[in-house]
Amino acid sequence: MPEIRLETYINADINLVFDLSRSIDLHQISTADTEEKVVGGRFFGLILMGEQVTWQARHFGLVQQLTSEITALSAPDFFVDEMRKGAFKSFKHEHIFKFNGQQTVMTDVFTYVSPCWIFGQMADHLFLKAYMKRLLFKRNLVIKAYAENGRGAELLGQ
């Protein structure tokens, strides 16, 4: 099972970073390149424990839908979203937040299982893992920018 682990250092309050990471609105901003939009579940605001959202996006030229659910949440330390329906056989995305005395360290641990057995494993090796890592990295850069430049608090209405 492939695993992607990213650490992002953010000069902002841990509570702000935690909330921006759960923001449906900021997620759509950060995934504009893939035309990601909500088509079911929570449409805006901060996603909460037990809630689901269905996203529609264009990946590899194909329009796809994916439903994920928040399966664990302890503010402001972590939350977990897991796929309930979509192109993967399964995925789990752990979002972990720690304040190191100077910065908030946001850690993503993304594990997934591709469909189609051996063909999925080949896709992982050839391009899928790198593609997913780029998506997560770009999303994290947007969270970092919004948290550090004051637009994040504005987006959240704080």
Instruction: Provide the domain limits for residue 41.
Output: 3-153
List, as own/partner pairs, every contact residues 73-77 make where C-beta atoms lie below 8 angstroms and the sequence separation is at least 24, other chains included: 73/48, 73/49, 75/15, 75/18, 76/14, 76/15, 76/17, 76/18, 76/19, 77/18
Average pLDDT over residues 56-85: 93
The residues that bridge with 67 in the sheet, in sequence order, are: 54, 85
Percent of the chain with pLDDT strictly greater than 90:
73
Which is more confident, 141 or 33? 141
- Rounded CA-CA distance 138/47 in Å is 20
Q: Specify whether the CB–CB gap between 70 and 49 falls below 8 A.
A: yes
In a domain? residue 135: yes
In a domain? residue 21: yes
The CATH number that applies at residue 8 is 3.30.530.20
In a domain? residue 114: yes
Three-state SS string over 33-89 comes to HHCCEEEEECCCCECCCCCEEEEEEEECCEEEEEEEEEEEEECCCEEEEEEEECCCC
pTM for this entry: 0.92
In a domain? residue 74: yes
In a domain? residue 158: no
Looking at the 3D structure of the chain, how many domains does it have?
A: 1
Of the pLDDT bands very low, low, confident and very high (cuts 50, 70, 90), residue 28 is: very high
Of the pLDDT bands very low, low, confident and very high (cuts 50, 70, 90), residue 62 is: confident
In a domain? residue 117: yes
